[in-house]
Amino acid sequence: MQLAGWALAELAVVFAAGAGVITLLYLLRMRRRQVVVPFAELWEQVTRESESRKLWRKLRRLFSWLIQLILLALVCLALGDPRPEVWLREPATTAIVIDTSASMAAVADEDGQTRLALALQRARAEVEALGPADRALIIAAGSEVSVPAPLTGEGGTLLAALDSAPPDPDSPINPKTRPRVRVGPGEADLGRALLLARNALGDQPTPRILVLTDGALDEAGVDAVDRCIERAKLEGEASCEVLDIGAPKSEDGEADTAFGRNVAITAFAARRYPSNPDQVEVLVEIQNLGAEPARFELRVTADGLPVGGKALELAPGDRALEVLPKLDAARERLVAELRPLEGADGNVDEASAGALGPSIDDRAYAVIPPLDPMEVTLVTDGGNLFLEAALLTLDDSVRLTTVGVDEGAASAVGDANLVFYDIAANPLPDPLPTTNLVIFDPHRVEGSPAPIPLLRELRSPRLSEQNEKHEILEGVVFKDVNMFQGTSFDLAPGDINLVSHLGEPIVALREGDHGVLQIGFDPRGSDLPLRTAFPLMIANAVDYFGRREAGFVAAIPIGASRELALADFGVPGEDVTLLEVLPPTPDNPIPARTSEDAEAGVERPTPLRVRAQDGRFRIRALVPGVYTITVKDGAAAGAVFEVAVNQANAAASNLESRLVDDHAVPEAHAAGPAPEPAPLSEGPLWTLIMLAAIALLTAEWASYHRRKTV
Amino acid sequence: MGLRERMGLGGGRQNKAAVELPDIFDDEFLRQLELLQVIARRLIRGRQRAERKTRKTGSGLEFADHRSYSPGDDIRNVDWNVLARLNQTLVRLFEEDEDLPLRLVVDVSDSMLTKGAHKLIYAQKIIAALAYVGLAGLDRVGLTAMSGKAHETLPAIRGKSRIFRVFDFLRKAPLGGPTDIYGGCKRVAAQASLPGVTVVVSDFYDLQGAFDGLNLLRFQKHEVVAIQVIDPVEANPLDTGVRGDVTLVDVEGDASRDVTLSPAMLQAYAEAHERFCTTLANKCRSRGMPYFRANIDEPFDELVLRIFRLGGVLR
C-alpha cells in the first residue's frame, strides 16, 4: 500500500493539528449548558434514576472524542490517496493456460482435491490479484483448445469461467450448465494453446503466460512448454511461467507415489467368432502406470449386464494384454471397466480403489463389428467333392467361390480371405496369392512355390502323432488313416508341426502375415474324406484363419479430427458425401438407439453433419463413448453404423510429470506462490474511505440526536 | 418569544433581580376590562348580584321574619299592624344586604418570573380582570402578592373607580423569592377579618405546600378558587429541542443538577408535570374548591369568561 496523494509527514501534521482542535473543542464542549427551570423539585424527581448511568455518561464523552479522531484519521487517509502496489505498477496482461487433460483428474493432495481443482484455485488467485488496469484471458488446453474467458479485465467474467460447480443435474446434456473448465479425455494440446496465448498477448502491455499443468504431457506438450520458456527469454516476448501441479512433493523433494497411481485401459476391442456369432472374443490392454502394484477387477458388460471379467494384479509399469474368449454377448456394444476389488467386509478395498487413479481411463467402449461372411476360394480340379461339401456346410460364415485350376493364380483369387488349393497333379501358381492358404499335397510337382519346403517323399505314411492342443485339430482324430503316398516338410523355426509321420511333419502350419497350412498328402489318395475328422479339420481351419483375418476393430482414440474410412465399417461409400454423426455425451456415453430414445422421450444432442469424400470422413471425437453415424446419401443411404471412441492413450493416462531432467522448468520460469488478492479490484480507495467517514459521521449524528453520544 | 427563550436557553442563567415587567395596564387593557365586565354582568344577572344576601338580618329591604320586641330595638321596626290586631309587640326583621369580600392572591415567586415573567403577567391580567368585575359589582376586593420572600397586601377596596389602585398595587408589588404557597395562604388567612372568596393565582410549583396552603384557607371558611397558570413549554419541554448534557439550575435557589436530557427524560418530565397538575386539580375539586388551569397561550379574557361561566368566583 502506497500513498499517491499527500505524504505521510504532511498527513501527520494535518492530523496532529486537527486532533488538537478537536480535543480543544471537546474540552470546551465538556462545559455544560445551564438551563434554568422553574420546577426543580419535579426535575429532581424525574432525573434521579439517571444517576446510575453517570459512569457511562463520562465514558461516552471519551467515546465521542475518539469517534471524531477516527473521522479525522479517515479524512487524512483519504487525502493521502492510498493505493495498493498492484495499482501503481504497469498494467499487466496474463494468459492463464490450464491443462485439462485426463491426468488433471488425478487426486493431488490428501484432501482429495484434484489437480484441476488446484489449477483452478491458482487461476482464481491470479484473477483476484489483478489490478484495475490488468487484463487476463483463460485458455483451457485439452484435446481441443478452448477459451472459457476472453481477454478482459472483468474479474467476474474470469471467475465465472473458472467456476467448477457441478452441472445442473436436471439438464445433464445442456452444455451451458457445465463448468467451462473441466477435465477431458486425452492429452493437452499445449502447442496450440500456447500459440493462441502468445497471439492473444501480441500487442498487450507486460504480457505474461502462466501455464498451469501437472507436467503429465506427451512429447509435443513438453516441447511446447520448452519453446514457451525459450521464447520468453527473447526481448519483447511474453514471459512464461509454469506451475507444475503434479503429485505433491515430500519434504525430501521426492514425489509421493501415492498420488501418481493409475491403471488405464489402453486398448479395447471385440469381435465375433465366425463360427459362432453369439459369442465374442474381447481384447483388453491394461497398463499399470503407477509406481506401486495394483490389484483390481476387469469387468466387461453389455448393456449393463456383466458378460465376463477377471481379477488382475499388475506390477508397476506392467502391461497386460488380456483376451477374454467366448463371451456370450448378443449385443453389439461392450464396456470394459476397471473396478476396485471388494474387501473381506464386502466394501470397496481402499488400496485397490486408490491404485486405479482417475476414472476417466478406467472405462473403455467397443462396438462389435458386423460379421461379414469369410471369402473362401477353392481352387480345384473338380475331383474332390468331399472338400467342396465340407466347405458348403459352413455356408453361414463362409462365402465359397470355386474356381478351376487355371484360375487359381494370385491375381484371380481376388480378395479372398482364404484359398484352398486342391489341384491334384497340377502345379501351384507361382507366385502364390498373398492371403491365407490351405494347400493339399503341395510338393507333388517339382519346383512347387509352397512356402514350407519338402523334406522327403513318403510311402504309405501313417499319421502317428498329432498336436491335439492346436485349434485346427480340436476334436479331430487321425487314427488309422490310410493313404498311398505323402510328403514331409522341412520346417523352419516358428513353423508348427500339426501332424507327423514317425516324427516327420506331414501337416504343418506357418504363421506370419498370412498363414499357410500345408497338408502333405492328397485327400483323394486317402480315406480321410470318409471320416468325420476331415470336415471337422476343414471347419477348424476356416475358423482359425477367419479369426486371424477378421481382426479386432480397434476403437478410435480421442481427437479433434479423426479420419475414418467407411469401408472399415462395411459401408460401400465411394459415392457418399454426407453423414450424420450423433455423438455421445459425457453423462451418457452409450446413448440408446434413436428409436429407443424416441420411445422413452429422452432428449438427444443435435446430430452433426459431416462431409465424406472418396469413402473417407473426419469426426470430432472428444467424448469417449459410442458415436452413431448415419449415411445420408449415396447408394448406402440410411445405413447406420457405430464407432467406439476411447481415450486409449497410455501417455495421457500417465500421471508422472515429464517436466523433469532435461525438460525441468528453470527456476526463473517456475511460477511462485499464489499472489495475494488485490484489496479492491477497481475504483480509487480514497472514495471508499470517504464513504466510510461519511457513514461514521452519519452514525455519530444519529447517535448524537438519540443522546447516545455527546 | 421563541421556545428556547421560554425554556431559559437564551442567555444562560437569568438575572432574577433584573426582571422588568412591561406596563400592561394601559387604556387598551382598561377597555378590555370594561367589555369583560359587561359580558360577565350579563352572565351573572339575576342570580348573581353584588348585593349579596346573607343570613344576617339587618337593614335590608326584604322582609325576613318577626321576633319579640326587646328593649333597645329600634321602634321603627315594630310591626304596628300586628300590635293592633294581636296585641303582641313584634319587631320586623329584614334580610341584610352584604358586599362580598373578594381576596385575590397572586404568586410573585421566581418561578412565575421565568422567561420574561410571562406567567406573572398573565396572572396579573387575571387578577385585574377579576378585581374589576368585583369592584364593578360593589364587592370589597383585596389583593395580596405573596412569595417565600415577600408578602404585600392591598386592603379591601370598593368601587369601580378604585381599579387604578389595583393596577398600582400590581405594578409595584414586590417580586421574587421562592414559592411558598402554604406560608402565603397562612398569612392571607390570618389577615382576613371576614372569610370570603379567595382566589389564588399561581403556578403552584410547590410539591409539598401547594395543596396544603389552599386547604388551610378552606379550613378558615374561605371559599377558595385555585387558578394554576401554566406555561405549556415548561410543562412539556419535549418540543424545545433542548438535549444533551446540561446543568439544570433552580430559578428559585442555587441548587443545580447535571443531567443528560434525552427525549425519554423530557417525556418523563412532561408526564410527571401532568400528573402533578391533575393531582392538584383532583384534590381541589374533591374538597369543593374550584380549580382552573390557565394556559398562558390562551387569551386571558376567554379564561376569565370561562371562570364566570363555571361559577364559583362571583354569585
- What tens digit of pLDDT does each residue of A332-349 get? 788 999 988 887 777 888
Cell of B214: 389552599
pLDDT on residue A164: 64
User: Of A346-360, A612-626, B290-304, which gets the smallest average pLDDT?
Assistant: A346-360
pLDDT on residue A660: 77
- Is 50 exceeded by the pLDDT of residue B267? yes
Residues B63 and B212 in one domain: no
- Is 90 exceeded by the pLDDT of residue A677? no
Residues B125 and B259 in one domain: yes
Residues B80 and B165 in one domain: no
Cβ contact, residue pair A42, B253, below 8 Å: no
| Min Cα separation A673/chain B (Å) | 56
User: Of A26-30, A113-117, B103-107, which gets the smallest average pLDDT?
Assistant: A26-30
Q: Which CATH class is domain A88-166+176-256+655-669?
A: alpha beta
- Is 70 exceeded by the pLDDT of residue A566? yes
Q: Which CATH class is domain A374-549?
A: alpha beta
A453: helix, strand or coil: coil
Residues of A in contact with B110 (CB under 8 A): 38
Residues B179 and B154 in one domain: yes
**Topology at the third CATH level for domain A557-647:** Immunoglobulin-like (2.60.40)
Higher-pLDDT residue of A108 and A438 is A438
Residue B13 within any structural domain of the chain:
no
Residue in A closest to B13 by C-alpha? A36
Cell of A175: 452444455
Cβ contact, residue pair A35, B9, below 8 Å: yes
Distance, in Å, from the CA atom of A364 to the CA atom of A337, rounded to the nearest integer, reads 7
Q: Which of A29, A31, A39 to mutate to test the interface with B (most CBs of B within 10 A)?
A: A39
Residue in A closest to B14 by C-alpha? A36
- Is 90 exceeded by the pLDDT of residue A316? no
User: Of A44-48, A165-169, A300-304, A540-544, which gets the smallest average pLDDT?
Assistant: A165-169
Identify the domain containing residue B302 by its residue range: 21-47+100-310
Within 10 angstroms of residue A153's Cβ, the number of other Cβ atoms is: 17
Cβ contact, residue pair A710, B260, below 8 Å: yes
Residues of B in contact with A33 (CB under 8 A): 9, 12, 244-247
Angle, vertex CA A667, rays to CA A665 and CA A672, nearest 5: 100
Mention every residue, 6+ apart, whose C-beta is less than 8 A from residue A673: none
Which contiguous run of DSSP H or E holds residue B89?
A: none
Average pLDDT over residues A323-333: 80
Average pLDDT over residues A156-183: 66
B 57-86 residues with CB < 8 A to A: none
Residues B109 and B195 in one domain: yes
Residues B104 and B181 in one domain: yes
Q: What is the C-alpha radius of gyration for chain B, rounded to an integer number of angstroms?
A: 24
pLDDT on residue B44: 54
A264-364 against A374-549: fold identical:
no
Domain count, chain B: 2
Distance, in Å, from the CA atom of B308 to the CA atom of B315, rounded to the nearest integer, reads 9
- Is 90 exceeded by the pLDDT of residue A703? no
- Is 70 exceeded by the pLDDT of residue A509? yes
Distance, in Å, from the CA atom of A582 to the CA atom of A623, rounded to the nearest integer, reads 11
Cβ contact, residue pair A40, B242, below 8 Å: no
Q: DSSP H helical segments within chain B, as ranges?
A: 3-7, 27-44, 80-86, 114-136, 163-172, 181-191, 209-219, 232-235, 263-286, 300-310
Look up the ipTM and state it. Answer: 0.78
Domain end, chosen from B63, B98, B133, is at B98
Q: How confident is the model at residue A52 (pLDDT cuts 50, 70, 90)?
A: low
The CATH code of the domain that includes B118 is 3.40.50.410
The answer to whether B65 touches B58, Cβ cutoff 8 Å, is no
Distance, in Å, from the CA atom of A313 to the CA atom of A294, rounded to the nearest integer, reads 6
pLDDT on residue B146: 92
pLDDT on residue B314: 55
- Is 70 exceeded by the pLDDT of residue B64? yes
Mention every residue, 6+ apart, whose C-beta is less than 8 A from residue A691: none
Nearest by CB to A45, from B246, B255, B272: name it: B272
Cβ contact, residue pair B256, A34, below 8 Å: yes
Q: Which CATH class is domain A264-364?
A: mainly beta
Domain ranges of chain A: 2-81+686-705, 88-166+176-256+655-669, 264-364, 374-549, 557-647
Residues B68 and B165 in one domain: no
Cβ contact, residue pair A57, B249, below 8 Å: no
User: CA-based diameter of chain A, in Å?
Assistant: 155
Tell me whether the omega of the peptide bond preceding residue A431 falls within 30 degrees of 0, making it cis: yes
If you average pLDDT over every residue of chain A, what do you get? 82
Q: Is B242 on the interface with A (CB under 8 A)?
A: yes
Residues B190 and B276 in one domain: yes
pLDDT on residue B226: 93
Q: Which range has highest mean pLDDT (A384-393, A540-549, A589-598, B34-43)?
A: A384-393
Residues B202 and B284 in one domain: yes
Residues B213 and B241 in one domain: yes
Residues B59 and B151 in one domain: no
pLDDT on residue A165: 59
Residue B285 within any structural domain of the chain:
yes
Residues of B in contact with A44 (CB under 8 A): 257
Q: What burial class does residue A176 get, using C-beta atoms within 10 Å of its C-beta: 0-12 exposed, 13-18 middle, 19+ buried?
A: exposed
What is the distance of C-alpha B120 from the center of its chain? 12
Q: How confident is the model at residue A168 (pLDDT cuts 50, 70, 90)?
A: low
Q: What burial class does residue B267 get, using C-beta atoms within 10 Å of its C-beta: 0-12 exposed, 13-18 middle, 19+ buried?
A: middle
Q: DSSP secondary structure string, B52-67?
A: EEEEEEEEEEEEEEEE
Cell of A131: 489490478
Mention every residue, 6+ apart, whose C-beta is less than 8 A from residue A156: none
Q: How confident is the model at residue B49 (pLDDT cuts 50, 70, 90)?
A: very low
Q: Which range has highest mean pLDDT (A98-102, A263-267, A560-564, B120-124)?
A: B120-124
pLDDT on residue A202: 84
Q: Is B243 on the interface with A (CB under 8 A)?
A: yes
Nearest by CB to A32, from B7, B258, B273: name it: B258
Residue B6 within any structural domain of the chain:
no
Q: Is B270 on the interface with A (CB under 8 A)?
A: no
Residues B81 and B150 in one domain: no
| Span between the terminal Cα atoms of chain B, in Å | 38
Domain end, chosen from B71, B98, B125, is at B98
The number of C-beta contacts closer than 8 angstroms across A and B is: 100
Parallel/antiparallel/unpaired status of strands A504-510 and A485-489? unpaired
Q: How confident is the model at residue A518 (pLDDT cuts 50, 70, 90)?
A: very high
Residues of A in contact with B241 (CB under 8 A): none
- Is 90 exceeded by the pLDDT of residue B315? no
| pLDDT tens-digit readout, A459-504 | 889 888 999 889 899 889 888 888 889 999 999 999 999 999 988 9
If you average pLDDT over every residue of chain B, what do you get? 82
Within 10 angstroms of residue A69's Cβ, the number of other Cβ atoms is: 16
